[in-house]
């Protein structure tokens, strides 16, 4: 019905790569989090693509659960960010390096 699966997979790969590079390069914690969401989306896109390609509903079910878990993860992650920010306002990812060996 739509274009071939490999296109979608390629697109998902590109999104994932952009998200990964963004995670590694940006220092603002919230932007890093958003890049993680980007990667998750790429993964969900891949799932759905395979669901179509293999004619299997399990792929979409998986996306369903991924969505739920992503939401829970965002909630807890933002809670952590908030409590970090209370201590040190204006912290970036680089400011927390207490485990430096």
Partner 1 sequence: MLRSVFLIPLLPLAGFVILLASGRQLGNPRAGWLATLMVAASFVVTIVVFIGLFRLPAGARSYTETWFTWISAGHLHVDMGLLVDPLSMTMAAFVTGVSALIHLYSIGYMEHDEDFPKFFLYLNLFVASMLLLVLADNFLFMFLGWEGVGVCSYFLIGFWFERDSASSAAKKAMIFNRIGDAAFLVALFLIYERTGSLEYHTVFANLGRVGEPSLVAIGLLLFAGAAGKSAQIPLYPWLADAMEGPTPVSALIHAATMVTAGVYLMCRINPILFRAPDAAHVVAIVGAGTAFLGATIACAQNDIKKILAYSTISQLGYMFLAAGIGAYDAAIFLMLTHAFYKALLFLGAGSVIHAMNDDQDVKTMGALARVMPITGVTFLVGWLSIGGVPPFSGFWSKGNVLLNAYAFSPVLWAIGSLTAVLTAYYLGRAYLLVFRGEQRWVEARPSGAAGHGSHDAAGQDPHDPSWVMSLPLVVLGVLSALGALVNLPFHPTFDFLDRWLNPVFASRLLAHRWSVGGLWGFAVVDGVLALLGVGLAIACWGRTSEHPALEPTVLRRAWYIDWAYDRFIARTSTEVAVETSSVVETKGIDGAVNGLAGLVRATGRQLRKVQTGYVRNYALGLTAGLVLVLAYVLTRAS
Partner 2 sequence: MTNLLAAATIPDAITFAIAAVICVVGAFGVVLARNPVHSALMLVMTLFGVAVLFVEENAQFLAAVQVIVYAGAIVVLFLFVIMLLGVDRHEAIERDPLPGQRLIAVCLGILGLVELILLARGKWPHGPRSVSGPLGTPADNVSRIGKSVFTTYLLAFEVTSALLVIAVVGAVVLARRPRRAAGDDGAPFVEPDDSIGDLDAGEPEPLDQPAEDTEAGAAVEFADADAEAAPTGRAAGRTGP
Interface with partner 1 (CB under 8 A): 20, 23-25, 27, 93-94, 96-101
Instruction: Please check whether residue 18 is in contact with residue 31, taking contact to mean a CB–CB distance below 8 angstroms.
Output: no
- Identify which of residues 90 and 98 has a Cβ nearer to partner 2 in the complex: 90
Task: Please return the burial class of 40, using the count of CB atoms within 10 Å of its CB with bins 0-12, 13-18 and 19+.
Answer: buried
CB of 77 vs partner 2, minimal distance in Å? 9
Pick one of partner 1, partner 2, none as the site partner of residue 43 (Cβ within 5 to 8 A by kind): none
- Identify which of residues 76 and 99 has a Cβ nearer to partner 1 in the complex: 99
């Amino acid at each position: 019905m739509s274009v071939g699966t490999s296109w979608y997979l390629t697109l998902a790969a590109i999104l994932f790569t952009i998200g990964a590079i963004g995670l590694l390069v940006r220092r603002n914690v919230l932007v890093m989090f958003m890049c993680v969401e980007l990667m998750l989306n790429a993964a969900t896109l891949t799932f759905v693509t395979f669901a179509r390609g293999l004619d299997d509903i399990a792929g979409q079910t998986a996306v369903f659960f991924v969505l739920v878990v992503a939401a829970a993860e965002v909630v807890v992650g933002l809670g952590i960010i908030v409590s970090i920010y209370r201590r040190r306002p204006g912290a970036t990812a680089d400011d927390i390096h207490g485990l430096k060996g």
